[in-house]
A and B are shown apart, each in its own frame.
Chain A
């Protein structure tokens, strides 16, 4: 046995150590002050008989274990019960609220909204140097779009099929997304669904599309996801990220 394996064996043998007790003497019957060599395996004990430094190390380890065991158990405060009950009930209420919101039927967007999106989309497409195909969507949008495409194609969510095979590559899909942003008041953001190969068709494509919107209200643009802000800032000509207009 080398030194480290002897030390490891000594530490493992500390499992049987009981607390020290400062209020009583070494010979009070408590596990204090004795070498407790009987806790050690025979093979380790033999090493200790021959080696004073190992015996010292064992005594130090014993002392530490006894000291920690002195701490004992702490009583559980009575207010833990109330706090746990309250937090579980709050969580339960939250779950029910979430479920009821998720169960709400989708609301069609107002016609006025369609027109405003069309306006912005056309404006964006006519801006010089705007390259929609290079924009990167946040990963969450990527997933949402892929799932939506599958549902619309009647494929559903098939966990067995590899993700890549389910839709077109992200950049292609993004290239097909036309005009993303409408800003009203504090900022209402509408993301259009996939419009097929109509990347440059502009307003026509927007008008022909069967709209379904995911509407996100951003009360404080400073708190919006950085990728989303970049994306929307680019598409809105800087309206959303404050480069062109004050927020």
Chain B
């Protein structure tokens, strides 16, 4: 079995459980905050919920890291917690139908990636079209069922292998394949009109 790349860091957290956010846990947080936040963002579909779910994820990690026994890859365990926290949060917020102006704003603005490949070339109109396209694609993902959303995000946003996805979601490889196939069928219905409208081949 391969040695977990996070083994040293996790053991350092386990050996100093009383140091709170200082020391090893801060390193672990720095190592995972981008991945955790992005998974939470893509699954919840907005920045406010993503913040809540990320905070919940790190709280669980902090409380339970001492019990981690390397029976799975540490990163898979982190992804599993983040996915579950995001899905739970969406489920809870679906039960309270309050709209937040902050959320509407954040879902369109804070979803903008850092990496603009064509700075200096793209005009304001194209930039606006690109932002609009991304918002629509994100909405299409958000309309998928929680399980399909999770698998789509882990595969295409986090670029996980089928084995890593299976470990993260606690399912078999066969389930990953069939669920991803169904997710693509659903995405076909959701995305095709959007991509057609934006003339994207």
Contacts and interface: CB of A to CB of B under 8 A. Distances in A.
Interface in A59-110: 59-61, 63-77, 79-81, 83-85, 87-89, 91-92
**Chain B contact residues, majority secondary structure:** helix
A11 B181 contact: yes
Contact of B195 (A67, A76, A84): A67
A84 B177 contact: no
B137 A67 contact: yes
Contacts of A92: 20
B113 A74 contact: yes
Contacts of A20: 200-201
B74 interface: no
Interface stretch (A22-30, A113-121, A209-217): A22-30
A153 to B, nearest CB: 31
Contact of B115 (A60, A68, A72, A76): A72
Contacts, number: 135
Given A8-B177, A20-B200, A71 B134 contact: yes
Contacts of A81: 33
A45 interface: no
Contact of A32 (B33, B62, B63, B201): B201
Contact of A67 (B25, B63, B112, B191): B191
Contacts of A148: none
Interface of B: 20-21, 25, 29, 33-34, 37-38, 41-42, 47, 50-51, 54-55, 58-59, 62-63, 110-115, 117-118, 121-122, 126-127, 129-130, 133-134, 137-138, 141, 152, 155-157, 159, 161-162, 177, 180-181, 184, 187-188, 191-192, 194-195, 198-201
Interface of A: 4, 7-8, 11-12, 14-15, 20-24, 26, 32-33, 59-61, 63-77, 79-81, 83-85, 87-89, 91-92
